[in-house]
Amino acid sequence: MTEREGRHRARLVLTGHIIDSMMLPQIMDLVMDLGGNFTIEELKVGQHKTDTSFCRMEIVASTADQLDSIVRRARSLGATAESEEPAQVERIATEGVFPEGFYSTSNLPTEVLIDGRWVMVENIEMDCAIAVDTKAGRAWTIVFQGAKPGMEVVVGYKGVRVTPLERSRQTEIFSFMGSEVSAEKPKKVLISSIAKEMHQIRESGGRIVVVAGPA
């Protein structure tokens, strides 16, 4: 992060399926909602379904706190800093108590930068801390009950990157189900399409959650 002409600036990098996953538009909305400005300095959009995209953007804010808030939330959506710094860690001093400013996880795939290498966080789940073993090159989530004195956990957001979920490009079946285009849904087609989508998710090792609701 830098300060120039009374404005605070940071460069973020977005890679992957940043359009399908809605990462890019979400971050653009985030910056504006929090009172900042952005400039797209470079944008390369994949030309095929399997191609990834790349975006480099400059974030400008009026204060350091405003910029910090924008960057923190942008990183939770999958953005990373252009020149990434290693993850910062602190030792746990008291059993069951995380250090102040510990990184709180989401349920999205998360990596931390340890000794120049990105390490996938094991057993990822929401609202946990990230414990690290630098020598072993491991990182994993822990809850408060698992916080033991001497353990090192990640604090702050530097050296942490999140991979957003990708929206399927094969079908738009679920968005159609939620639309108001017609009260008459082609049930056989919908059921067949949903079954196909579920089968593809299982084949790729994904998980499916069924949420019951009113009929």
Q: Report the chain (215 residues): mean pLDDT per 10 consecutive residues.
A: 68 88 91 94 88 92 90 87 84 95 89 93 94 95 95 91 66 47 50 74 78 60
Domain ranges within the chain, ordered by starting residue: 2-81, 88-162, 168-215
Tokens of residue 41, six digits: 């300095």
CA geometry: angle 121, 127, 129, nearest 5 deg: 50
pLDDT for residue 185: 46
pLDDT for residue 156: 86
CA distances from 106 to 17, 75, 81, 109 (A): 19, 11, 19, 8
Q: Is 6 left (phi over 0), alpha (psi -120 to 50) or beta?
A: left
Find tokens 């002409």 and name the residue. Answer: 5
What are the E-state strand segments in 62-189?
80-81, 88-91, 110-114, 117-120, 129-133, 138-142, 152-155, 160-162
Hey, do 2-81 and 88-162 end up sharing a CATH topology, with the first three levels equal? no
Which CATH architecture is the domain 88-162 placed in? Beta Barrel (2.40)
pLDDT for residue 181: 43
pLDDT for residue 215: 45
Phi/psi at 63 (5° precision): -130, 160
CATH fold label, 2-81: Alpha-Beta Plaits (3.30.70)
Alpha helices in 22-169 (DSSP H): 23-33, 64-76
pLDDT for residue 180: 46
pLDDT for residue 172: 45
pLDDT for residue 167: 56
How far is residue 124's CA from residue 139's CA, in Å, rounded to a whole number?
10
Find tokens 């797209």 and name the residue. Answer: 40
